[in-house]
Structure 1
Amino acid sequence: MTMQKGANVPVPARAVRVELGWRTSPGAPDVDASALLLVSGKVRNDADFVFYNQPAHRSGAVRHEGKRAAGGAVTDTLAVDFAQMEPTIDRVVVAASADNGTFGRVAGLYVRIVDPANGSEIARFESADATVETAFILGELYLRQGAWKFRAVGQGYETGLAGLATDFGISVDEPQQTQPPQQTQPPQQTQPSQQLQKAPQSFTHPATPRTPPTPPPAPPAVRPVRLTKVTLTKEAPSVSLSKQGGTSGALRVNLNWEVRKQSKGWGAKLGRAVAAQADLDLDLCALYELTDGSKGVVQALGNAFGSLRQPPYIHLDGDDRTGAFSTGENLTVNLDHKNRLRRVLIFVTIYEGARSFADLHATVTLQPQDGAAVDFSLDECTVPSTVCALALITNDGEDLTVRREARYLVPPRGVSPQRTIDAAYGWGMNWTPGRK
């Protein structure tokens, strides 16, 4: 049902998919979905803010699932699981922010609430009166007498996502502005006799040492959220993680897919295809080369899931072959051991369920623990490819760089996708048949 501003409807589902959508057009800004989990109108701390740089709430109740583009339209999705919602949370604000532009240039902006169990639309609100706003509260899920409801809001902000977030208690790490140099007063000239009189006052007699007072314990460090992000394109295909401050901790690689042609009952979803008669099994993989010259692969095939605490310091979190709604396949690189890594090639293969990527569209997000998220979309495949190179991470000893590859390869007859990707990038490994 389409709602008017201020209207509310019951949300009977145990979990919902919150989908923001808009139409693409020349000169229009990109849009990002976010959510704030509130207690009495405010967040408890910065962890209650879910967005592209902080994609999952610690409770698991809200997750930022990522974007899909098809047919001149884009959607950005949040997954909300009421069963995992902490009892103190009484409201989830659904917001949108415009990247390098205003919402007056965004056509067809809407938010809809969908029951993922059956795909039915519970509510829909279309925003049509935006002008100079750079952030919007489109709606909110709120708890009333033990039941969840959705209200259409439509409140705009000219101060962007940072202004919206700070209104609810989020501390934002904004870029520092360069301050003009301040003029200092020249030091006053002091008479030599005064210097001699004051100098002894800065010393304490050795026989009576003074013990400085014990300083109070420092409060725990608060790390504000960072709203910056990086989008890689054909024109700007690489980014320095060192310059973005993302060279330590865990680098999470997420791959989201959708099926564009609804064949055999396939329906669009994030990360995987919902298959009524056939399962589509996609495998996220990584070739690695360490600084000691050792090489290998991290993949589900052969149960080579890797490790974060020992070589290769890369781990695949699992192989989801159920076809159920999920967050896609995820791979993590431990950047605390970046000095042991020479290069890492992230790639994906079709294990079964399709003969080519031609019917699929993918979004790749690399999320450093610190620093800006790096995301990019893969171009539509026009060749019978079953293996695609996604991104190449290289370490030259001074800088850690991510380069967008988006390279579809066609394996020769009888040659595996792994051998094909190896040959294309000169890894030089010996391959044997494997199985899951």
Structure 2
Amino acid sequence: MKADNPATKLFSATGLYSNIHRATFDYFCSGAHQTTGLPFDRLTAEGKPINDIVSISGVGFGLMAVLVGAEQGWLSREQALERASLMVRLLSSVERFHGALPHFIHAQTLEILPFGRRDDGADLVETTLFLQGLICAREYFATDIAAEVDFRALAEPFVQGVEWSWFTRRKPGPLYWHWSPNHHWARNVPITGWNEALVTYVLAAGSEKHAIKPESYHDGWARSGEMVNGNSYLGTVLPLGEPFGGPLFLSQYSFCGLNPFELRDRYCDYRQQVIAHARINHDYCKAQFGSEAPWGMSACDGPKGYRAFSPTVDGGVIAPTAALSSFAYLPDEAEDALNSFASHQSGALIGKFGFIDAFSPVTGWAARTHLATNQGPIVAMMENHRTGLLWRLFMQAPEVQRGLDRLGFEQAA
């Protein structure tokens, strides 16, 4: 990093990468609710709660974050276990629907908060992203120490309790995203690929008591092969998904735990998928904003609210999470983005917990927020790039291995 880069002074102790990693981690530690330890869905750039909402996926990312904190020495193992145990114990009192958790809860009261119209019950993908973090924590706290044994006992009802096969509406076909005790299947959203929910099908197939049939994956998720793309965008062939790949979180959420570098099935080699998606996103941004400009489009706050930005939904908005969560995919390009974000307008993108959620290099607009669902993948994927910690933990879990095997995945040695 050049000596005249403002980030040199701001993050001079152990380097920019380490300090951004730690600052982003701290969203889930000092930025969490003081009593419950649950991470807020949103904070201001100054680190203040915007509301009392907690997303269930944010809790999953929070569990991953405390493991990273313990691994990096930012928390002791005992502190990490205490925080994880508190979060999971509190969620044990939240109503579940056929084993699945809702999208939003209140940070203090744990009351269910409707995510939207007709969405006041189960959210299967949110539940999965929570389980991804929980399974990593269960695998991490694996000793015979009493407190770790107790944590694993807290985790098991969540892991074993989701009635995955029920969410196919008890018939062959895809899993469904939402179910409400008041509106039942009114949302009517099948979970079909390619999107962020690959891990949902892996855990559903690996369940001991409520496993889905492989047909749900092949005919539902893969749409009998229709999720295959195979076209070239900006000189890069994209194996799966929508044109230009869509927002980058689609190739990041599931792979905070699943290691794409070890996976392939009849549809693609997932190493190729995630690298191609990131490459297309990178190249598109460079073509639009200039070779020296920052890059990365994903779901984030925009000038008119939260939106999923991508090359086909281009609002001129860059989300730092897109590039930083791609360190394992495009390390050189991600490092360039890291330095670019830090030096942008003399540090204007730096908030209390790392970088602000999004900005526009075209108009000068900048969000004054941090979001759990964007902070979490940064912490997880920067750690996977550093040590592979979360990939090792998740991939060794028996339900993950069972699910991959049942769905016909081949794993690299």
Scaled by the length of structure 2, what TM-score is found?
0.27
Choose between structure 1 and 2 for higher RCO, CA contacts under 8 A separated by at least 6 residues: 2
Scaled by the length of structure 1, what TM-score is found?
0.26
Greater per-residue helix proportion: 2
Greater C-alpha radius of gyration: 1
